[in-house]
Structure 1
Amino acid sequence: MNKTIIININGTVFHIEEQAYEILKAYMTAVKRHFFDSEDSLEITTDIENRVAELFTEILAREGRQAIIDQDVHAVIEQMGAVEDFDNAPTGATAGDSYYQTHTSQRRLFRDPDDHLVGGVCAGIANYFDAPAVWVRLAFALSVIFAGTGFFLYIILWIVLPKAQTRADRMAMKGEKLDLQGFKRNFEAEAVNLRERLNEAGHHAKPFIYRFRDFLGEFFGFLGKAIGQSGNLLLKLIGIAFMLSFFCMAIAVIVAYISFMMFGHTELQFIFPFSVLGVQYNTALYTSAFFAIIIPLVILIVLFARLAFNTARLSSSALTVLGVLWVCAVTLSIYYAARISANFRYSASFGKTVNIAATKNNVYHLKLNDKKYLTAEDSARLNVQSRFHGFIVIDGDEDDMGEPNNVSISVEKSDVAQPTLFERFSANGATYDQALMNARNTVYNFTQKDSVLTFDRSLHRNYNEQWHNQEILLVLKVPVNSTVLVDKNLNRPLSLNIWGCLDDNKTPDATYATFKMQPTGLECKVDTLKRDTVRVTDTVKVFAKPTVAPKHLKKVK
């Protein structure tokens, strides 16, 4: 059986055992003694007593008891904190020092009566989420645009949320721990706020001109800070854009490198400009060029990622390794580029004359060969004998693989009655001998059947032969008064204005144009009778209209 005492803590009556009462009395006496020198010791001790009363009420309700025992007092003291914690604090410690930085407790949602424009709802929400109140207010203001949603939500929260009236409520609203240190820190913070308000009051008491000066200073300071933040945001957006661009470029380079390594020795060697490289340089040149391009892209990606997201930068050792690799890659790329360009150092050419059989009336029809030229390797690769027996493989513009036009045809006047075709082959090489052999190892197909002269679309080199700027110049010499019929498909290699000749004859849909060799050179043969007929017909169509006499005129006898 223990003796109990009835005590009153700030209007709340409790039954407490005598031993527990002595412990509580000693604790509260120590608390009052500690805060005796504070500016408002009565207020802070009253808040502490209210908090102790709340804790006792919670304990009794939870345990289902009527009297407070010494274990309850010890539990409250442990939760509130002992006075010795302050006595052991370093000299000169303040509420902002690390000694007083206790862990925050769970925040509770209240309306803030100290920082409010209307009801303190926005400030309370900002305290709960530990965010600036201005953003919450701006969100409510913007939501008003959407059918007044923000206004009605604000009214509902104003009614539902309780107001933070006591110090404990305000501390719980901001997530401050409800112990002795928390109460003291909160009280000192309020004292600092009070001094700031007094300073603001002194500021408002200044003459208008000084207040206007201070306002301008604050305004331009805020403006500069806003511009700086906007500039930082713009730089981050630019950094993200460049980072994504360089990242996509890096992916494209990697895909291209893999494709070159997989197909560079087979399909790509026939496509210009890859046909310039040669099979012996493919692997080394592709690899060195890959590292020469990908290393700067990686550095730029890391640089702009750091600008956009403040990520870690590359270490000095990593930069050194990448720099050495890049220098080696660039050096190798330059070396192999020089080796390849050396294959074009010399040029050589040779020519031969082919006699053309004279035709009746000296009429020659120039046509483009539409049959594809196949080497022995092509025939074996495509298995032409079995797969395309009885068929003709058609040649097309895409078969030149993008190489520069290597066939040039011109028609000139012959000094003799015998028409001839002069063929001039040319190519480049590392030496004159190699250039001459490169020109010799090319094939061009020209055929004559009666009056039809058929020309190939392009010059052909050997299957594994590297491109060395092989070209052929064809000069067809025909006697004066010879008629030359030129298919318009020859417009590309032939240096004649075929389309212009067709337009002069008013026959743009014709398949060939007719030229006549004159003493001054080849000229378009214009059918004047047909052209004048077309013109007269056009004139009649435009101007020949029936004339009808007006009905109101009478015939005069």
Structure 2
Amino acid sequence: MNKTIIININGFIFHIEEDAYEILKNYMTDVKRHFLNSADSLEITTDIENRIAEMFTEILATENKQVIIEQDVIGVVEQMGSVADFENPEEQPKGPVYSNYTGKRKLFRDSERHLLGGVCSGLANYFDTQVIWMRLAFLAGIPLFGIGIILYLLFWLIIPRATSRTHRMAMRGQQLNLQGFKENLAEEHHPHYKPGIYKVRDFWGSLFRHIGAFISTIAKVLIKLIGVGVILASVGFIVFLIVAIVCVSFGEFRPFDGLPYQVLQHTYTNQIFISGFLTGAIPALAIIFLTLKGIFNTGSVNKQWASGLFIVWLCAISIFIYCCVKIAAHFSDDATFSETITLNSTPSNVYVLKLNDNKFFSAEDSVRLNIKALKPNTRVVESPFEYNNYHHYRYNKVYISIERSDISQPVLVKSYHSQGRDYDEALSNARNIKYRFLQKDSVLSFDYKLYDDEELWHDETLHLTLKLPLNAKVTIDTKLKNFIVNNDINACEETNKLPDGIPATFIMTENGLQCIIDPVIAKARKRDQRLLDSLRSIDDETGEQFDQESEQARERSRQRRYHMIDSLEGELR
């Protein structure tokens, strides 16, 4: 029974007997001492250790065993040769050879005598010939349909590159023992003539290496900057989610008008908010850790934590999708019903449309706010355009159209629309819509929002169609113009150059509602049109003569323009 220990030779793990280890240790100590003064001592000793590791691996595989014994180490030392053998170079190492390498050359791409990829130099070493003949052979193959280039690229991909001293020695057929390493070291330090082509290669190679190093440095800096940006964006996204959840849950902040907040406040509210937050926050957190690890090589994630977060994310996204599907079921069908109200006509056939900005209070709100204690003629108003308060615009789904009536009586058609899980529920939701419309003499007051005993969240909308008799005059309050969908109120205000707050006036014609233009402005527009038409006619008459008498034609045109303008202004005065 022998004691064994575990050793590590440049990443190779071996079980070795203690006596064998002592022999190997003393051998490597002599080798390191011998090459201590060499500039490449570390590289040489590393290559020797790698060679010994290869031989040990070969012994274990050949003899099908797991432990290196004393005889194995002695055989390897005899094969490699000892430091004392340098004094007697005629003696050959004794003992068996534990490798399929028998001094024959191996094919590698030469990393020292290369011009491009080292293919020609590697082949020349393998066949023990001059590299010039290999290069001429590939050059001769270029005119033959580029076969020389194709073969060169193919060999470049297939043949491995000589990256170590052991590879270079095997490429040149040198023995992989101490004597071979010694001779290889002497050859490298022995000065030899280098052709001019290699100097050119070294110059351009050095230039490209410096350029590559510079580009690599710039790329690393850019990648780190991008990483910092990604981390900041991810952190900002997580903070945004937290702030949004808090504000939406406990306040009335609504950052995006398009989101169905009224729906989220009535169905699966907590599930939607929590699962939505986790669905967005966990990937952002994963991006932060992956960026830190991949770009900055810092930070680590425990596998159990990572697996747990991934499971939580899967559950969150599943719950989020489930809730969205259930919410979408409330909008499977829609229903619409209409009612027609006959309005009171006015003797002058003039109507004023205005926005009802009186604030509506329920009975409970009136008692709580003590509305009766207000002074007489006091009004509590509200504005539909205060978009910072969600209550002011969440039910702002009132659309007004103005059309010509077929009868002499004004008519208001209310079309209520809503959605639900089926038609019956959609119709019930539409019937629950309440809306306030008032007529006082010629003043028609429209409210800007809908009301209900319950919260409205089934896409309840109201389309109002006001049908006025022919030749009816309508004055539209500026606060109401944003609710009218089939007439451009702003265009009429701009045409009449009305100041802010002054309403525009329209008249109902056979073609629908038309803007009434101020007579002074209409006269000025007519004058401008006549002037424009006259100037165009002058241009048409003189344009044909511009090719032959361009200067004379331009002058005549200019004089006729001035004369026409003076006569038109005198006529208008």
TM-score range, shorter chain: 0.5 to 0.7
Quick check: 2:404–2:468 contact (8 Å CA) kept in 1? yes
Q: Percent identity?
A: 34
Gap change, CA 1:507 and 1:335, over 3 Å in 2: same
**Aligned twin of 1:307:** 294
TM-score by length of 1: 0.56
* Cα 1:533/1:90, change in 2 over 3 Å: closer
The structure whose Rg is larger is 1
Q: What is the Cα-based RMSD across aligned positions, in Å?
A: 4.0
2:478 to 473, 476, 488: 488
2:234 corresponding residue in structure 1: 246
Question: In 1, distance between residues paired with 2:511 and 2:203?
Answer: 92
| Residues 35-434 of structure 1 aligned to structure 2 (within 5 Å) | 90-94=29-33, 95=36, 202=191, 206-263=194-251, 273-376=260-363, 378-379=365-366, 384-385=371-372, 390-398=378-386, 401-403=392-394, 405-434=396-425
What displacement does 1:329 show?
0.5
Secondary structure of the 1:309 match is coil
CA deviation after TM superposition for structure 1 residue 299, in Å: 0.6
When the two structures are superposed, what TM-score results if normalisation uses the length of structure 2? Answer: 0.55
Q: C-alpha separation between the residues in 1 aligned to 2:215 and 2:272?
A: 49
CA contact (8 A) 1:407 1:473 kept: yes
Indicate which of 433, 443, 447 corresponds to 2:438.
447
Shift in Å, 1:313: 3.6
Q: Which moved more, 1:491-500 or 1:380-389?
A: 380-389
One-letter code of the match for 1:442?
I
Q: Quick one: distance in 2 between partners of 1:353 and 1:311?
A: 72
CA separation in 2, counterparts of 1:240 and 1:516? 63
Matches within 5 A, 1:495-514: 495-507=486-498, 511-514=502-505
Secondary structure of 1:279's aligned partner: coil
Q: Tell me if the contact between 2:400 and 2:465 (Cα under 8 Å) persists in the aligned partners.
A: yes
- 1:200 Cα shift? 7.3
Match of 2:461 among 471, 485, 494: 471
Instruction: Give CA-to-partner distance per residue, 1:104-149, whole Å, 9 cap, x none.
Output: xxxxxxxxxxxxxxxxxxxxxxxxxxxxxxxxxxxxxxxxxxxxxx
- Unpaired runs of 5+ residues, structure 1, are 1-85, 98-194, 546-557
Deviation for aligned residue 1:310: 0.4
In the superposition, relative to structure 1, how do residues 297 and 452 fare at CA in structure 2: closer, same or farther (>3 Å)? same
Alignment match of 1:516 (pick from 501, 507, 510) = 507
How many residues get paired? Answer: 361
- The change in CA–CA distance for 1:237 and 1:528 in structure 2 (over 3 A counts) is closer
Q: Which amino acid aligns with 1:445?
A: R
**8 Å contact kept, 1:445–1:456:** yes
5+ residue gaps, structure 2, are: 1-24, 43-183, 532-564, 568-573
TM-superposed CA distance for 1:300, in Å, is 0.3
**Whole-Å separation in 2 of the counterparts to 1:221 and 1:249:** 41
Q: Summarize deviations over 1:232-272 as a string: whole Å, max 9, x none.
A: 33322322221222122122222323334434xx7779986
Amino acid at match of 2:221: L
CA distance in 2, matches of 1:496, 1:312: 62
Change (3 A) 1:487 1:230: closer
8 Å contact 1:268–1:275 — kept in the other structure? no
Is the CA contact 2:383–2:392 (under 8 Å) kept in the aligned structure 1?
no
* Deviation of 1:508 (Å): 5.6
Per-residue CA deviation, residues 178-213 of structure 1 (Å, 9 max, x unaligned), is: xxxxxxxxxxxxxxxxx999967826x534443333
| Secondary structure in structure 2 of the residue aligned to 1:436 | helix
Distance 1:380 1:297, change over 3 A: farther
Q: Give the distance between the partners of 2:298 and 2:474, measured in 1 at CA.
A: 74
Q: Provide the C-alpha distance between the structure 2 equivalents of 1:468 and 1:270, rounded to a whole number of angstroms.
A: 19
Aligned partners of 2:209, 2:256: CA distance in 1, in Å?
67
Q: Quick check: 2:275–2:319 contact (8 Å CA) kept in 1? A: yes
Change (3 A) 1:370 1:519: same
Whichever residue aligns with residue 249 of structure 1, its letter is F
Give the secondary structure class of the aligned counterpart of 2:200: helix
- SS, match of residue 427 in structure 1: strand
Deviation at 1:289, TM superposition (A): 0.5
Superposed displacement of residue 379, structure 1: 4.2
Equivalent pair of 1:367/1:486 in contact (CA under 8 Å): yes
